């Protein structure tokens, strides 16, 4: 890298817009959506989709609620043309869905494109040509006036062929293709030249697409460009201003949101941001950004996992695990403090103690996207007691007391750290069993019985095994546990008292097990936990006492 990059690179100039209004605005409604997965996304694939794959993805886009779908570049290949014809002839597109096609300002390509649309119910013909200084100089070697003439010729050829589409509702769209790098004055001039040909009206609008084809500046500069165009174009009320952002500076979503604040009406993008170079606008991210602000995006991503599966199958692409909203790991938490906060927030929401979603670290409810809560918290060496407790409770039905969470969390963390990987709920349960339940030495229960006695006292009796010897016991107390503790003291067990006891069912029905948790405190102040499982809750509590004693 250069030590003085200014010798090679220069900042993009700002837009002269001293009275800009967009910074003070708030987004309150979703834009018009147009998916370009089947065209812009498809052309960016190493192996473009075949007709069957495009059909499956098209049907998924329709199911999501897209009313405008750029289905291809029909003049580019026989596959693209055949796909258009199949959509139309087999009536695959619902009556309210616009089929958008892209075409350069070349007469033979326009002829082929119009032929691909015959019989369509609704169609958008998207004309474009490049306008930036670099494109004018390097690619075309044309002046500004000559570039405008290219656009005007293309617009005229399209206008003159519209009678061939009798019976089709047609909307026209124009893009100065490298708008983000073009002087705003020239973008205005070429757009108005096309408007002169197409003559849009408030009742019959045309789409003016102003693409951030290559991100060359910060998102606020793009917003200034959009607001400048919206305030300097004639007959703004006859236009639908559209945005088409790419992600070269990793700010495609931000540029789109600021462009909408600046006055745009419509956005183009792909489901998960697939596109040339670093990709297009991620429509899922933008739509769910609206959703998380309480704004209906008008798109349905309630089965986001299913949509992702279709996308990955049809395109051969993979959604990164950290992709906003849609990635495998975005609703997970490995950090212990995060896990604890999420667990408490989900409990608050489940108990209906709040009216609006406000769970720490989760901007929206994963369940709204068809994702389960068991995807939220996972455990690795960075996790804490909150995550461990959450998985044990929600996956295994084990509801650890708070103090026991504090004791078991570090124990589990040490074991996970030794393994050096993420662990499942089943593995955590096995750790818990080894630490608290499978503690059978030196004391183990052989037989236990109890019966009521005078004055509400309970008599308990039975036998224990210690060091291979069977020892009979008998004791009494105000309950089975108290009676058993008394019996242990009589046969020489270490002195202790029961500091905490809790039990709950682990399942339902006659064969359901119960789990008991016991904390013992010894005269030196040290406390130890134990747990046990049995179909008889009384036996579970007695075995838990022994497990805690064995851990001492």
* pLDDT tens readout for residues 326-344: 999 999 888 778 888 998 9
Q: Of 259, 281, 315, which closes a domain?
A: 315
For residue 456, tell me if it sits in a domain: yes
Give the confidence band of 508 by pLDDT, cuts at 50, 70, 90.
low
Work out the pLDDT band at 372, boundaries 50, 70, 90. Answer: confident
pLDDT reported for residue 119: 97
Are 212 and 360 in the same domain? Answer: no
Residue-wise pLDDT tens digits, 451-486: 987 778 899 999 999 988 999 999 999 999 999 999
Q: Is 185 within a domain?
A: yes
Same structural domain for residues 192 and 173? yes
Residue range(s) defining the domain that contains residue 403: 336-437
DSSP letter, residue 296: -
Contact 503, 516 (CB under 8 A): yes
State the chain's mean pLDDT as an integer: 93
Please state, in angstroms and rounded to a whole number, the distance separating the CA atoms of residues 170 and 166.
9
CA distances in angstroms from 346 to 332, 338, 350, 401, listed in the order given: 13, 12, 6, 18
Please tell me the least confidently modeled range out of 150-159, 233-242, 280-289, 402-411. Answer: 402-411
* Residue 298 sits in the same domain as residue 426: no
Q: How many helices and strands in the chain, by DSSP H and E?
A: 17, 14
**Domain total for the chain?**
3
Residues 382 and 300 in one domain: no
Taking 60 as the threshold, does the pLDDT of residue 25 lie above it?
A: yes
Which of 403, 437, 471 delimits the end of a domain?
437
209 and 101 share one domain: yes
Is residue 432 assigned to a domain? yes
The backbone torsions φ and ψ at residue 539, rounded to the nearest 5 degrees and listed phi first, read -65, -35
143 and 291, same domain (yes or no) = yes
User: CATH code at 121?
Assistant: 3.20.20.70
Residues 449 and 432 reside in one and the same domain: no
Say if residue 100 is in the same domain as residue 201. Answer: yes
> In percent, how much of the chain has pLDDT > 90?
84
Q: Which of 415, 437, 459 is the last residue of a domain?
A: 437
Query: Residues 232-261, buried b or exposed e (16+ Cβ, 10 A)?
Result: ebeeeebbbbbbbbbbbbebbbbbbbbbbb
User: Do 387 and 531 share a domain, yes or no?
Assistant: no
Position 13 in a domain = no
User: What is the pLDDT averaged over residues 200-206?
Assistant: 98
Residue 386 clears pLDDT 80, i.e. is over it: no
User: pLDDT of 212-233, one tens digit each?
Assistant: 999 999 999 999 999 999 999 9
pLDDT at 376: 63
**Per-residue pLDDT at 373:** 60
- Residue pair 205/266 in contact by the 8 Å Cβ criterion: no
- For the cut 80, the answer to whether the pLDDT of residue 385 exceeds it is no
**Same domain assignment for residues 432 and 469:** no
Q: Is residue 20 part of a domain?
A: no
CATH number of the domain where residue 480 is located: 3.30.160.270
Q: Which of 233, 160, 141 is nearest to 190 (CA)?
A: 233
In a domain, 1, yes or no: no
H/E stretch holding 415 reads helix 402-419
In a domain? residue 331: no
Length of the chain: 552
Dihedrals phi, psi of 368, to nearest 5 degrees: -65, -20
For the purposes of burial, counting CB atoms within 10 Å of the CB of 156, is it exposed (0-12), middle (13-18) or buried (19 or more)?
A: middle
pLDDT at position 388 = 86
pLDDT tens, residue by residue, 391-450:
888 888 999 999 999 999 889 988 888 888 888 889 999 999 999 999 999 999 999 999
- Cis check for the bond before 10: say yes or no (omega within 30 of 0): no
Specify if 156 maps to a domain.
Answer: yes
Say what the pLDDT of residue 60 is.
98
Query: Are 408 and 472 contained in the same domain?
Result: no
Residues 424 and 472 in one domain: no
């Amino acid at each position: 890298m250069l030590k003085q990059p200014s010798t090679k690179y220069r900042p993009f100039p700002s837009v002269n817009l001293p009275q800009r209004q967009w910074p003070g605005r708030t987004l309150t409604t979703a834009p018009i959506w147009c998916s370009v997965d089947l065209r812009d996304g498809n052309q960016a694939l190493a192996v473009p989709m075949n007709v069957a794959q495009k059909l499956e993805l098209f049907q998924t886009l329709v199911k999501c609620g897209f009313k405008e779908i750029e289905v291809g570049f029909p003049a580019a290949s026989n596959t693209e043309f055949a796909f258009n014809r199949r959509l139309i002839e087999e009536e695959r597109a619902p009556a309210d869905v616009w089929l958008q096609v892209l075409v350069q300002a070349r007469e033979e390509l326009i002829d082929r494109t119009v032929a691909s649309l015959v019989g369509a119910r609704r169609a958008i013909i998207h004309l474009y040509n490049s306008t930036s200084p670099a494109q004018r100089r390097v690619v075309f070697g044309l002046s500004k006036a000559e570039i405008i003439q290219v656009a005007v010729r293309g617009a005229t050829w399209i206008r003159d062929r519209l009678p061939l589409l009798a019976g089709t509702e047609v909307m026209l769209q124009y893009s100065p293709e490298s708008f983000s790098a073009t002087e705003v004055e020239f973008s205005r001039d070429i757009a108005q030249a096309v408007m002169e040909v197409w003559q849009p009206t408030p009742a019959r609008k045309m789409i003016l697409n102003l693409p951030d084809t290559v991100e060359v500046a910060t998102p606020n500069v793009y917003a200034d460009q959009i607001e400048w165009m919206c305030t300097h174009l004639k007959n703004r009320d006859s236009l639908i201003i559209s945005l088409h952002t790419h992600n070269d500076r990793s700010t495609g979503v931000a540029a789109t949101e600021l462009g909408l604040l600046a006055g745009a009406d419509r956005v183009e993008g792909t489901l998960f941001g697939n596109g040339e170079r670093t990709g297009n606008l991620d429509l899922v991210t933008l739509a769910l950004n609206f959703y998380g602000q309480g704004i209906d995006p008008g798109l349905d991503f309630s089965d986001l996992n299913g949509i992702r599966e279709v996308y990955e199958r049809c395109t051969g692409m993979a959604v990164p695990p950290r992709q906003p909203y849609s990635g495998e790991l975005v609703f997970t938490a490995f950090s212990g403090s995060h896990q604890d906060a999420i667990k408490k927030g989900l409990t608050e929401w489940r108990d209906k103690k709040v009216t609006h979603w406000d769970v720490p670290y989760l901007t929206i409810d994963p369940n709204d996207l068809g994702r389960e809560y068991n995807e939220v918290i996972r455990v690795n060496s960075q996790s804490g007691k909150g995550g461990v407790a959450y998985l044990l409770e929600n996956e295994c039905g084990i509801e650890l007391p708070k103090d026991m969470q504090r004791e078991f969390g570090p124990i589990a963390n040490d074991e996970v750290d030794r393994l050096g990987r993420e662990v499942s709920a089943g593995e955590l349960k096995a750790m818990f069993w080894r630490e608290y339940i499978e503690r059978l030495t030196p004391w183990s229960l052989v037989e236990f019985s109890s019966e009521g006695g005078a004055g509400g006292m309970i008599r308990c009796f039975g036998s224990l095994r210690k060091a291979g010897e069977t020892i009979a016991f008998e004791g009494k107390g105000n309950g089975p546990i108290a009676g058993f503790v008394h019996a242990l003291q009589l046969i020489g067990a270490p002195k202790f008292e029961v500091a905490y006891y809790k039990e709950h069912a682990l399942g339902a029905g006659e064969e359901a097990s119960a789990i008991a948790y016991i904390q013992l405190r010894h005269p030196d102040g040290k406390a130890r936990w134990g747990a046990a499982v049995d179909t008889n809750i009384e036996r579970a509590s007695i075995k838990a006492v022994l497990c805690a004693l064995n851990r001492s």
